[in-house]
Amino acid sequence: MMSFLEIVLRVAGWLVLAPLLPGIINKVKAWVAGRRGPPVLQLYYDLGRLWQKGVVLSTLASPGFIAGPAVTWVAIFGAAMLLPLGPAGAALSFRGDVLLLIYLLALARFCTTWAALETGSAFEGMGAAREVSYAVLSEAALITAVLTLSVHTGSVTLATMLEPAAGAGAALLGAGLFCVLLAENCRVPFDDPNTHLELTMIHEAMILDHSGPPLAAILHGAAMKLLFFALLLIEAVVPVGTLSPFAAAATLAASVLAVTVAVGLVESLLARLAFRRVPLLLTTAFLLCLFALLVAWKGGAA
């Protein structure tokens, strides 16, 4: 069992460190473009200002408009608490916890789209429709990746499942999960988080009418989700659990930084795909995870 202090430190780490990742991505993009760019801590300033502002509500919105972002944040935070951090383990672990993790991520998506539809806005409706349409393929890839880890380890407990497979299986799984990371966090080439054209938005279109603390919860939840998928990708392909606590912490920190910089480079060097091409890339991510599953199954059979 974890001590109370360990749980507090873990919670504080997720709350405090998550907003750092979008700042690093923006700094990398600015560096590639030869610009100074916003400060790395810009999201912290934005969150502080948003918490001090009031909330503007549509006359059509029900209490679900406020409850949606809150439940989304709690669901993402709950998924983060289930994710083991190398030899430190998870704050909550039990047999089959990976199933709860999948459902928490699905609940977060449902509540985000639900809150977007509460306003009766055509733009937010388009963003919600695109979000759930692409989720069919991205969730299929994520579930296949989880099944790969389960077949490889013979377990349905995250603490045991996140044992990397060597060779081609790890490479395929890592490539597939990186595509899932980009899609689930609405990054280029699936979406452009910096766009201001409502007709081409996905995630940003769903939060156009949010303001004040609910918008702060959405932005912080999105940062936590980015950190969550980065850690999931790292622990699926890097043997962090076999290291000492200090070496594991350093490896996780360096790997998260590397994944974050890679996301920034992808956004700098690639253009956003046309909507009709997004399913093709998501299908590629699914196939990569499927091939990793076949490698794990064949290796286990041998």
For the chain, the domains span 4-301
Residues in the chain where the model's pLDDT stays below 70 = 1-2, 166, 196, 198, 300-302
User: What pLDDT score does 300 carry?
Assistant: 57
User: What pLDDT score does 166 carry?
Assistant: 66
The percent of the chain in helix, strand and coil, each rounded to the nearest 5, is 75, 0, 25
* The two three-digit tokens of residue 87, written as one number: 């030899």
User: What pLDDT score does 302 carry?
Assistant: 43
Q: Omega into 164 within 30° of 0, i.e. cis?
A: no
User: Measured between alpha carbons, how far is residue 258 from residues 25, 130, 171, 253 in Å?
Assistant: 11, 29, 16, 9
Angle of the 20-33 helix axis to the 42-51 helix axis, nearest 10: 130
| Cβ-contact 297, 173 below 8 angstroms | no
The span from the CA of 149 to the CA of 157, in Å, is 10
User: What pLDDT score does 301 carry?
Assistant: 46
Q: pTM of this prediction?
A: 0.96
Nearest Cα to Cα of residue 202 among 219, 220, 213, 190:
190
Residue 225 in 3-state DSSP? helix
The span from the CA of 42 to the CA of 16, in Å, is 13
User: What pLDDT score does 298 carry?
Assistant: 82
User: Measured between alpha carbons, how far is residue 152 from residues 41, 156, 160 in Å?
Assistant: 39, 11, 10
User: What pLDDT score does 195 carry?
Assistant: 77
Ramachandran angles phi, psi of 97, nearest 5°? -65, -20
Nearest Cα to Cα of residue 105 among 145, 65, 66:
145
User: What pLDDT score does 278 carry?
Assistant: 92
